Structure 1
């Protein structure tokens, strides 16, 4: 009976109310099957309560105990879902992809029944990572299978994730079509699955610049904070604070500081760097996002860093950010955030100097043509390079400001 009560709490998203009891049971010397069942539930709880790294380690321990004692715990599905949630939320989406593709390849008979759910999870992982093309293909297949079976998961999450993926791909009409389909689907699923569907809907609307999308993300985050669901609160706040207020950014940094893993660090650094307008902190966040191969997240960090570096005349950071952005533009179909400006405007005299310098004229030649001293030309070039975030004459060629 106690185990059933724990499972009900996990199903309803009341993780904090049972996490301590589950941890005590896991660390006890009780019946091995009961202990492992509690550990499976605890994996899911820790994944959402900001203890993602511990959840991943716990999932591995559960696997070892099962193999050693040849156990078949009834709560095993919670261990699987908890591991998926912990990996995905901590930014380790590639590990999710590896686990799911291995399962689809190695257990074809089981996947005839579970294939729709497994492909759905795979598509959600691609969506979270900003891999819209892979997400769309995978999710369309999952949606077809789930529609036929009307399984436990149902097609609601598939439609929601497709709406988000199409928004990332820049296909506004298809995104809105799937938002309409998602709204028609009823959900009778565990709290985390429901949260993922709602998050995808809110983020799709955020990408489509729908009014009210930001506020819904903020409200969701505040409710999660009140329930101790630090992981999901941090993720919602990250989605809401692209142009956040100082108060919202401070909350993002604070909540994210109570999570584990690289993605938590990305969220915290974005909150701190955006609030303090510190391009170097944002570039640190971009580097972590790059390590996780989260291109859309990296691009957000880079664009913010670029704008702030230009505003402050930090040419070194501006160059670093621009270099990253040039690479990301080649891989992302749509940037989630565009630079506000190509840089501070040049004065008329600075444009004259920049144009001549871009044509290969020396400082002395520019000075003679404009009847200026060489030192004055050097001063103009310093201001030009600083404003534009460049370091050489060759970078002037083709610039919109020149």
Structure 2
């Protein structure tokens, strides 16, 4: 075979979603088949991992060079010697059908005829080799070992290859590829190829988690989600409009084919696990026996948890809904009864309880009210709104029904339908004959009013009804009056701290709130007060301290949730506190802390990401904008905005629209900017006072960037100091940073006054730039530029290098002027915030050079000798010569005399 021709064909293969993550395997397999060292290539992996697709691609690439013969393993013929070879040995007498020599001779005669007809080497393609009988595997191994044909074999990782084929690998004459599940990055790449580049990152994260990186399941999920409208394109961005459906037609077909391969007992065990997971292994084995369970575990259809109480669950969670959807209600009820007879207690885990209750409701069985309420609360926490509403609607007890209705209100809150949530909560607020029913939904009621724009004072005034109801309840039950009033007052205090924290309202001169140790149920107020203190510190320009306080609040929230203190409330503290913590990290310029925080939040389950993922990506977009990467920021913020149109539980839409408007203005996308400004102006203002102010600053900055907005700097400075008598150094930093970016050098003096009281690398770098402006010395501008680069503020670094270039020009230092100008250009390239920058960069002949090579070539173009370049860059002459030699080779030029024309067309320094 002509291996060079085959490799060239493989290299020209268009990128395909089906080959994502398999390119290295493809190239290696082709090389092995083409070479003389290996006689076989084995592709092993789970069902749906892509073995057959990869095999077909290999055959397609090798097609013109080989005689391809296909052999398929079959479960029904596993115990029939030479059964799968039937089509090749039809002329063999019956009495010789079990003779290895006779079968080999007949098979070889048939293969030689095929080879003679094509005059090309033989390639035997063996799919589902794990189902081959030992005799057939032995003959194939002999053919390969003798060099009569090469093998391309696909097999399931479990049970794996038959022994004769495996022996080829042991002998080192076969190459083995264990195909692994796709990574998140590969899943993202696959979606880019399938849908285009504008896919909300949460889509990839949810699909990757749901499919486990299995390409077959992933394709099924994508197809079903597109067909039923779950995955939809809005304004060019692909996103989920609701929770992922895992029982569509494509996925059902995949699961049905899997079931057909299993024995009746194995199918029954799979159904039981799907209906009851997680379920004790001993229960399933008591119903169907040990062997079917062991077979399902071996074939990785079911996984088992570690001892001492092993539990079974499906290997791929997405199989669950599909399997349950295939089981009739009558059969489901029968299976439930067979399992309940063996159970001595109800499931104790949250997931187990949810499945138990859900299964009972599907069968029409009665479920106790408290269990229904508990299941509704858990389902709402996991953002399974449909199950939460169904369970809550079945609660009959009047007192428990009030708590159940608050859970239904929470499901509306999750989807930003605050009016619907308030209709439910307002009807029950201040009512109830027990403390639990009286307080049910009270925190959520306050959060909904806050989201609808009511001030803390208005909310607490209306909350007086709760106190009056508590006082009446205490009179009705005098023996419990003390505990009733204590619980109501504790809730009112927590409610007040919460709405103040949501609104960012605090007393500037008030001392930091103490956080004394308290039982988990009493930590709620402390968590909100810590959050409020974080905002106060942030406004004062203390983001490092603010992040520490917000982190304490997150720890407190984790303790509250672990203790189950908010089960009845379902007010999710974590996402709110993540926003507060991220704001502090971003304001301070601690990008690593912010990214770590966001990554940790994004690692949650798929349903949480669908509800809150828009806010995660909004934060990432703001980081990019602050770093000066306006083009990337615009893409990220625009995608986040589409997600927030559907669900915005943290009311971040206005802030995101404002930041996206600023980014669009930065890159000169006027039409896009106009649409984003309209989005901002039509949206409710951000709840937090700090975020509201920051949003207005971004809008003023964007308008100034677009031109014809006199007085922008004065307006920004005014926003930074809403009350000159109070310390708002953090707001001033944001305002003055916008001013400096607009070219308002007069803001530098005020920044230097603020510098001693500011925290974080972002403030330090911006103040360094302000200091360089005040001295206007080239050396100071260079130092400021390096400081901004270290802080990854590429926009400010470019401004500082530009100022240094002007200062060198004024001093007549042309060489250093050009160097500073080149550094400025490099920072702008890093920022990537210029319209059309990508196209220009792709046409730059110097784009193939490294940064150091570009710098040396630029100096060579200006006429400096190798020794002068070495002195300028403080490197050895040999280093300069080496870089120039490699640059000539890359640029396909013979020497210095051909460099000026090339560099003149590029953007080198």
Separation in 1, partners of 2:863, 2:796: 38
Deviates more, 1:131-140 or 1:233-242: 131-140
SS at match of 1:186: coil
Distance of aligned partners of 1:359 and 1:45 in 2 relative to their CA distance in 1, 3 Å threshold:
closer
Q: Quick check: 1:285 aligned with 2:784?
A: yes
Query: How far off is 1:197 after superposition?
Result: 1.9
Residue in 2 aligned with 1:244?
744
1:35-55 Cα distance to aligned partner (Å, 9 max, x none): 444323322322222111122
- For the 8 Å contact 2:805–2:820, the answer to whether it is kept is yes
More helix per residue: 1
Alignment of 1:3-402 (within 5 A): 3-15=494-506, 17=508, 20-22=511-513, 25-26=514-515, 28=516, 33=523, 34-63=525-554, 70=562, 76=574, 79-149=577-647, 151-153=649-651, 155-187=653-685, 189-212=687-710, 213-223=712-722, 226-241=725-740, 242-244=742-744, 246=746, 248-313=747-812, 318=817, 321-334=820-833
- For the 8 Å contact 1:224–1:233, the answer to whether it is kept is no
- For the 8 Å contact 2:776–2:807, the answer to whether it is kept is yes
SS at match of 2:736: helix
- For the 8 Å contact 1:166–1:174, the answer to whether it is kept is yes
SS at match of 1:106: coil
- For the 8 Å contact 2:535–2:690, the answer to whether it is kept is no
Distance of aligned partners of 1:134 and 1:224 in 2 relative to their CA distance in 1, 3 Å threshold:
farther
Separation in 1, partners of 2:790, 2:802: 18
* Gaps in structure 1 of 5+ consecutive residues: 337-356, 361-393
Separation in 2, partners of 1:335, 1:16: 43
Separation in 1, partners of 2:761, 2:819: 21
1:349-396 Cα distance to aligned partner (Å, 9 max, x none): xxxxxxxx9789xxxxxxxxxxxxxxxxxxxxxxxxxxxxxxxxx99x
Separation in 2, partners of 1:315, 1:82: 48
Separation in 1, partners of 2:586, 2:863: 51
Q: Normalised by the size of structure 2, how large is the TM-score?
A: 0.34
Q: Normalised by the size of structure 1, how large is the TM-score?
A: 0.72
Separation in 1, partners of 2:834, 2:807: 18
Residue in 2 aligned with 1:384?
none
Separation in 2, partners of 1:195, 1:128: 16
- For the 8 Å contact 2:755–2:763, the answer to whether it is kept is yes
Separation in 1, partners of 2:904, 2:635: 39
- For the 8 Å contact 1:161–1:200, the answer to whether it is kept is yes
- For the 8 Å contact 2:632–2:832, the answer to whether it is kept is no
SS at match of 2:774: helix
Separation in 1, partners of 2:650, 2:528: 21
Query: How far off is 1:145 after superposition?
Result: 2.5
- For the 8 Å contact 1:225–1:233, the answer to whether it is kept is no
**Root mean square deviation of aligned Cα:** 3.5
- For the 8 Å contact 1:56–1:83, the answer to whether it is kept is yes
Query: How far off is 1:240 after superposition?
Result: 1.1
Separation in 1, partners of 2:618, 2:727: 27
- For the 8 Å contact 1:147–1:154, the answer to whether it is kept is no
SS at match of 2:721: helix
1:161-194 Cα distance to aligned partner (Å, 9 max, x none): 2211222333222123322332232325221221
Distance of aligned partners of 1:114 and 1:251 in 2 relative to their CA distance in 1, 3 Å threshold:
same
Separation in 1, partners of 2:617, 2:828: 28
Distance of aligned partners of 1:108 and 1:229 in 2 relative to their CA distance in 1, 3 Å threshold:
farther
SS at match of 1:20: coil
Query: How far off is 1:236 after superposition?
Result: 0.7
* Gaps in structure 2 of 5+ consecutive residues: 1-491, 836-860, 865-898
Deviates more, 1:204-213 or 1:31-40: 31-40
- For the 8 Å contact 2:625–2:633, the answer to whether it is kept is yes
Query: How far off is 1:30 after superposition?
Result: 5.9
- For the 8 Å contact 2:733–2:751, the answer to whether it is kept is yes
Distance of aligned partners of 1:29 and 1:184 in 2 relative to their CA distance in 1, 3 Å threshold:
closer
User: What is the aligned length?
Assistant: 342
Separation in 1, partners of 2:815, 2:518: 60
Query: How far off is 1:328 after superposition?
Result: 2.0
Query: How far off is 1:301 after superposition?
Result: 1.9
Separation in 2, partners of 1:51, 1:111: 30
- For the 8 Å contact 1:9–1:18, the answer to whether it is kept is no
Q: Which has the higher contact order (CA 8 A, sep 6+)?
A: 1
1:148-168 Cα distance to aligned partner (Å, 9 max, x none): 346551632232222112223
Residue in 2 aligned with 1:350?
none
SS at match of 1:39: helix
Query: How far off is 1:274 after superposition?
Result: 0.8
SS at match of 1:50: coil
Separation in 1, partners of 2:497, 2:815: 54
Distance of aligned partners of 1:243 and 1:154 in 2 relative to their CA distance in 1, 3 Å threshold:
closer
Distance of aligned partners of 1:282 and 1:16 in 2 relative to their CA distance in 1, 3 Å threshold:
farther
SS at match of 2:752: helix
Separation in 2, partners of 1:17, 1:117: 28
